[in-house]
Every structure is written in structure tokens, then in C-alpha cells.
Amino acid sequence: MVQALVETVVVPETWFYRDADAFRALARLAHERLDERGTALPLRILSLPCSTGEEPYTIAMTLLDAGIDAAHMRIDAMDISERSLAVAQRAVYSRNSFRGNAFPFRDAHFTRTEDGWRLAPRIVDAVRFSRANLMQLDATALGIYDFVFCRNVLIYFDRDAQQTALHALNNVLAETGTLFVGPAETGLLMRYGMQSAKIPLAFAFHRAAPAEAQLNGWHTAPLATAAALAMTHSPVPALAPLQVFSAAPFAWPDPVARTPSSDIPQHTPKPYKAASPSQEFAPPHVASPATAARDTLQAAHALADAGRLTEAANAINGYLEQHAPHADAFYLLGVLADASGDTNLARGHYRKALYLDPQHTEALAHLATLLELQGDRNGARLLMERASRAQGAQRG
């Protein structure tokens, strides 16, 4: 009876290379970890909840494509849903599991069949699936993990459940391990006493120094929050990015929103009145507004990924001055403002995105996080309910 209820309420929403920057970061960190300690012990990676398998299989593809031997890794994938686990172990996926517009990984690792795309046995064999409840993890039985992926689930819990889940994740995370969460969950980790790994747009965290950690309870984080530390560029010179496949997470939808610009408040924020963006990242001139939006936002993403947040914001504002308002443009401006510590500006941009697209799931989730951190728990709850309904509508 209990399992039947679980299968009713659990609604998987995932795809390959979702938030691809996390997987790029994983590849680099995995190589660093192996270089530090050698290959006598395999890397241990946990994906929980793993849903229908897209995330752990992406982890396997990423590490194998980055040149890490299967013998040097162990990937455990866990979920409470037996139905989701059965889909994952079958390893045949439909169009819904492939988002964006670039699928070199599908050509490399999948075979087309009558009912979808079948994943190569080499990838399937690299992942071990099992049923587990996040709230009841047994650290003594599982051991510890170098990398833990627990993304886009904590935001749906109430505060007590969040604390229980984060305690459980902390117990299975190695002392120098890395925890990856969803974009809208970074504020929760900071409140729990975790520190950003300072990898732009990867939303990766590790334990704070013992003197700074407060693992027995919640504390109030500064309202510079959410994406702020998660997008901060590391002061340590970054290694050249490894060539891993990406499903183009910033492949923005078409067509461009065409709400009259007179309905939108002035969008150019004062903090971003800086020089024009570098020509290196300037989007090419194109005839189609939809193509122009996509190229501009991809260029802005590249700038943000390089730590050049002001230039990224200028690129988007330059587009908005010449074209119709675009929900994804305002959403990304919100993320950039969040990263710069201007939560009031971020909140305004998220609201503009929702004015243009009331079902914009990411904007709903990010705005909910800001409201939660500012003490408006009821407002945050209502926004997360809207985000959940929007996800369901997208699946339909």
C-alpha cells in the first residue's frame, strides 16, 4: 500500500545532461581526486534520487568520455520508486529524455530502436541501481562518497524534511567530498553551513571548515545568497575545460516572447552600466529574433561561466533594448543579479520573467528561494506549488 502511494506521488522530471556545467565540473574534479590519491581506491559517486536513470548514466558517460576507466569509478544510483528504477535498468529512452539541440552523446552512446534509444551496455554496466529512501540512508552500510548528486528535490521539502535530508547527505559525503544540488537549492546549502566550491554554474558545495560549520541546526545566511557563491569565480586559476558532451542547457525555446515592451518596467539595471561586452562573446547579427535571442543568451552564459557577470548582463540588456521582452532573458538577468548579491534586483527580474511566462519553472523556483531566505515561507511555498504544476504541464 505504501509503495503504491509512493508510485502515485513521485513524478520523475529529468533528462540527460541537465544543468551540464555540473558534469563538466565533475570530470575535472574526478581527475584531480585521482591525481591526488591514485587509483587504488575507485571514485565513489552517488545519484539520489536517480529517477529514471538519466542523471547517473550522464555521470557515467561524462567520466568515461573524460578518459577515466570504468574500473576506477563506482556509481551508485538510488530512488524510492520501483517504477522509476525499472525504467532506468531497461535503459531505453524516448525523445523527452533528450533536451536542447545538440546530441553528440546520443550518437556516441545510444542505438536507435523501434521504441526509442537504447543505451550502450558499457554505460549501463557502469551504474548500480538500488531502492533507497533519502530520509533513511544508512551511512554505515553505504560508506562514503567522493561526489553526491542530489538535485532539484530538496526545494520540495518543508524545512524539517530538508534538515533531515541534508543530515543524511552529510553522513555519506566524504570529508573532502563534493555535493551537487539544483540551481534553486544553493541557498539551502548555505543556510546549512556548507560552502560553495566556487565553480561557476555547477552549484557544487563542500563542507565548511569545522569552526564555521553548524551541522546540528540551521543558521541564517547573508542575503547575498542563492546563485551568489555558486557562481563566484574561483580565485585559483581554472584548468582548461575537459571536452565532455553537453545537451546545450541554454538552448532557449522559440519563439521569442512578444509582449509589448510598454507593459514591462525599465529593465536596464544601474549596477550594470559598464563597458560593452567583449567582441569575443558578442552574438552575431542574425535576421530571426528567435535566433538572436538564443545566440545572445548563449553568449551571456559563456560570459557568466567565465566569471564575467557584468559583461553577461550588458549583453542581455543590449538585446532587450533592441528586441521584444524575453522571459529567459529576464530570468538569466535575475541569476546574474543574484550572483552579484543584489537580491532586490534579482527578485524584480524573476518577476518580469514570470510576467512574460507565468509557467517559467526556473524563475518560480529561484524566486521561491529568495522569499524563503527572506522569511516569507508562505510566499515561497505558493511559488513552489506553481513550479510543480508548471513542470506537470510541461510533461503533458
The CA–CA distances, whole Å, from 129 to 75, 78, 86, 107, 313 equal 9, 6, 9, 24, 42
The grid coordinates of residue 299 equal 553568449
The grid coordinates of residue 129 equal 541501481
The grid coordinates of residue 332 equal 538569466
- Give me the mean pLDDT over the 93-121 stretch: 92
Bridge-partner residues for 73, per DSSP? Answer: 43
Asked if pLDDT for residue 106 goes beyond 90, the answer is: yes
- Give me the mean pLDDT over the 265-274 stretch: 37
- Confidence band for 386, pLDDT divided at 50, 70 and 90: confident
**Predicted local confidence at residue 12, as pLDDT:** 56
pLDDT in tens, 174-192: 999 999 998 878 777 877 7
Asked if pLDDT for residue 228 goes beyond 80, the answer is: no
pLDDT in tens, 71-93: 999 999 999 999 999 999 999 99
R_g of the chain computed on alpha carbons: 21
pLDDT in tens, 25-70: 999 999 999 999 999 999 999 999 999 999 999 999 999 999 999 9
Q: Which residue ranges make up each domain of the chain?
A: 2-230, 261-357
> Higher model confidence: residue 251 or residue 388?
388
- Confidence band for 289, pLDDT divided at 50, 70 and 90: low
The grid coordinates of residue 372 equal 524563503
Q: What is the mean pLDDT of the chain?
A: 76
Quote the strand ranges of 132-258, DSSP E.
Answer: 145-149, 173-180, 194-196, 204-207
Asked if pLDDT for residue 142 goes beyond 80, the answer is: yes
**Predicted local confidence at residue 77, as pLDDT:** 97
Asked if pLDDT for residue 327 goes beyond 70, the answer is: yes
**Predicted local confidence at residue 273, as pLDDT:** 36
Question: 295 in helix, strand or coil?
Answer: helix
**Predicted local confidence at residue 210, as pLDDT:** 57
Q: Exposed (0-12), middle (13-18) or buried (19+): which is 285, by Cβ within 10 Å?
A: exposed
Return the CATH class of domain 2-230: alpha beta
The CA–CA distances, whole Å, from 309 to 257, 271, 350 equal 24, 11, 17
> Considering only 92-101, 155-164, 307-316, which range has the smallest mean pLDDT?
307-316
**Predicted local confidence at residue 341, as pLDDT:** 66
Asked if pLDDT for residue 22 goes beyond 90, the answer is: yes
Q: Give pTM, 2 decimals.
A: 0.61
Share of the chain above pLDDT 70, in %: 72
Q: Is the peptide bond before 289 cis (omega within 30 degrees of 0)?
A: no
- Confidence band for 204, pLDDT divided at 50, 70 and 90: very high
Instruction: Name the maximum alpha-carbon separation found in the chain.
Output: 63
> Span 261-357: which CATH code?
1.25.40.10
**Predicted local confidence at residue 344, as pLDDT:** 85
